[in-house]
Amino acid sequence: MVERVGVGQPCSAVANFVGSVLTEIFEAFKIDPATVAAYVSGTFGDGAIGGALGAVGGWLAGFWNSVVDLARAAVEDVLATLTKPVVEAIKLATAGTRG
């Protein structure tokens, strides 16, 4: 079902759609640090070495997630910069049509 939007809302609808797509894409690249830590710990034994390597694996997974978040922020900044002239032109064109 397609949601109907008012005259002033198409940009918001597109922005919300793009935001949700970006969320889906970047969340797919993230990994759960607890799952990684448990896997690594289990692979190397649950002793001291396995626990230490599991902690390192969990930390690396958390670091990876931070890198993914930074990449998303960069993509959002690029998209905002590229679309700003178009959005401003639409705002200017529709400014006279509101009453």
Query: What is the rounded distance in angstroms from the CA atom of residue 56 to the CA atom of residue 49?
Result: 11
Looking at residue 97, what is its pLDDT?
60
What average pLDDT does this structure show over 22-50? Answer: 93
Task: Name the residue among 71, 64, 7, 5 with its Cα closest to residue 32.
Answer: 64
- With a pLDDT cut of 70, the percent of the chain lying above it is 85
pLDDT of 5 over the 80 cut: no
Q: Which residues are within 8 A (CB) of 20 and not within 5 positions of it... i.e. 6 or more apart?
A: none
Query: What is the rounded distance in angstroms from the CA atom of residue 94 to the CA atom of residue 88?
Result: 10
Q: Which residues are within 8 A (CB) of 87 and not within 5 positions of it... i.e. 6 or more apart?
A: 11
pLDDT digits (tens, 9 = 90+) for 37-76: 999 999 988 789 999 999 999 999 999 999 999 999 999 9
Query: What is the rounded distance in angstroms from the CA atom of residue 32 to the CA atom of residue 35?
Result: 5
pLDDT of 1 over the 50 cut: no
Mean pLDDT taken over the chain: 85
pLDDT classification of 21: cutoffs 50, 70, 90 = very high
